[in-house]
Chains A and B, each alone.
Chain A
Amino acid sequence: MSATPDTVTTPTFQLDGEEIPFQPGQTIIQAALAAGKYIPHLCFHPEFKPHGSCKLCLVKISGRPAASCTTVAQAGLSVESEIPEVQDKRRTLVQMLLVEGNHFCPSCEKSGNCMLQALGYELGVMSPHFPQIFPVRPVDASHKEILLDFNRCILCELCVRASNEVDQKNVFALAGRGISKHLIVNSESGRLADTNFSATDKAAQVCPVGVILPKRVGFAIPIGKRKFDLKPISDPGASAGCAEHAEGGA
């Protein structure tokens, strides 16, 4: 079968019954978002290599579960995303993330701009379901421009990746294992002030939740008027081209 250039058609796969075109090499979530179809995600960011850790982007491909941010699209695949079985699992993942940290949204500067919270709204998460762990995680307010509130970290490593790959500063890392895994700052004192971190770093812009917060601007836009207060995270206006990542900060 030799195709001449004008008979070559863009390959497609099916997402919830809809044909999604893709470029060879694109992952399922990349092709879906480019086609204006939202698939939930937290650790995926269009500017970074897939991480595959949060599993919010779970889909079923020909009946088998897979992370759509790490699975390369292939012609003819049948992908299911918005089916009750998958949505239920995503809901459980959000609940587990909520009880693992200390997520007191009313006092969080990120509220309304937070991807975890917006996914809770999107999936209709009404309760934490699980017992709260209430971990003890002191904040780091040492830096002049940035507050670190570790209580809300979901370990997506976007700041780690951004600081390494873009800023070339290697300010953040994950330490520990299993339930005691946590974000650390790479300085001898462990304090952010003792690194060369700056508020203009890429790593200061990518946190999907309320950990890395610019100081003194937190409530410039009042609660109730923020991005996901106005539009659900699945809205093409909020997610096409991943606008939810574009603005960063609080």
Chain B
Amino acid sequence: MDRKLKVATTSLAGCFGCHMSFLDIDERLLDLIQLIEFDRSPLTDIKHCGPCDLGIIEGGVCNAENVHVLREFRRNCKILIALGACAINGGLPAQRNQLDLRDILEEVYQTEPGLTHGGIPNDPELPLPLNKVHPIHEVVKIDYFLPGCPPPADAIWKFLTDLLAGRTPHLGHGLLHYD
């Protein structure tokens, strides 16, 4: 390979667990860094995504900002990977989908005893929450999916090394997990 592949990563409505699991590939990061360089990512603090070969998305879409970031990634990345349960089916944040958004906000910020009653926040800086949390493939086209909550480090390693070697990623029993 004559040039390093550019990789961007982000966490939308996720818990950073998938990123932590990614870092759990430990010393294999040193091998990986021979093949790739990071663009926008929590690991680099680059704020906007430039043209990339690979975009890795953790988390689903729960607010308007998530939608913008996801679209920025889709515009700039040749290949987009949904990493982990939340990106793939909404995961934990989507557990609010059975409830009405207004009821949730009122209960948390106004009526629940013991919580501060400062009213529902409406600072213009805050991204507006969506009525429901969505998997990312419902918003943009996703090329690959890597399930798990989080996917184990070995699964992330197998997936990325398959992909970088030009093979269709294959996990098999023990690495493919939904939990």
Binding site for B on A (CB under 8 A): 98-99, 102-108, 111-112, 117, 120-121, 124, 126-129, 131-132, 134, 136-138, 223, 229, 232
**B86-133 CB contacts (< 8 Å) to partner A:** 88-92, 94-95, 97-98, 132
A229–B174 Cα distance when bound, in Å, is 7
A120–B179 Cα distance when bound, in Å, is 12
Q: Does more than half of chain A's interface fall in helix, strand or loop, or is it mixed?
A: loop
How many whole Å from B160's CB to the nearest CB in chain A?
Answer: 15
B19 within 8 A of partner (CB): no
List chain A residues, Cβ under 8 A from B94: 104, 132, 134
Binding site for A on B (CB under 8 A): 82, 85, 88-92, 94-95, 97-98, 132, 134-135, 137-138, 142, 144-147, 149, 170-171, 173-174, 176-179
A111–B147 Cα distance when bound, in Å, is 14
Q: A98-B89, A132-B134 are known contacts. Are A105 and B179 too (CB-CB below 8 A)?
A: yes
List chain A residues, Cβ under 8 A from B90: 132, 134
Partner of A128, one of B88, B176, B179: B88
List chain B residues, Cβ under 8 A from A134: 90, 94, 97-98, 132
Q: A104-B91, A127-B82, A134-B98 are known contacts. Are A117 and B178 too (CB-CB below 8 A)?
A: yes
- Verify B85–A127 contact, CB threshold 8 A: no
- Verify A124–B178 contact, CB threshold 8 A: no
How many whole Å from B131's CB to the nearest CB in chain A?
Answer: 11
Q: A105-B178, A132-B89, A132-B138 are known contacts. Are A126 and B98 too (CB-CB below 8 A)?
A: no
How many whole Å from A155's CB to the nearest CB in chain B?
Answer: 19
List chain A residues, Cβ under 8 A from B137: 127-129
Q: Quick one: closest B residue to A121, CB to CB?
A: B176
A127–B174 Cα distance when bound, in Å, is 17
- Verify B85–A106 contact, CB threshold 8 A: yes
Q: Quick one: closest A residue to B95, CB to CB?
A: A104
List chain B residues, Cβ under 8 A from A108: 179
Instruction: List the 3 closest A-B pairs by CB distance, nearest first.
Output: A127-B145, A106-B149, A105-B178
Q: Quick one: closest A residue to B137, CB to CB?
A: A127
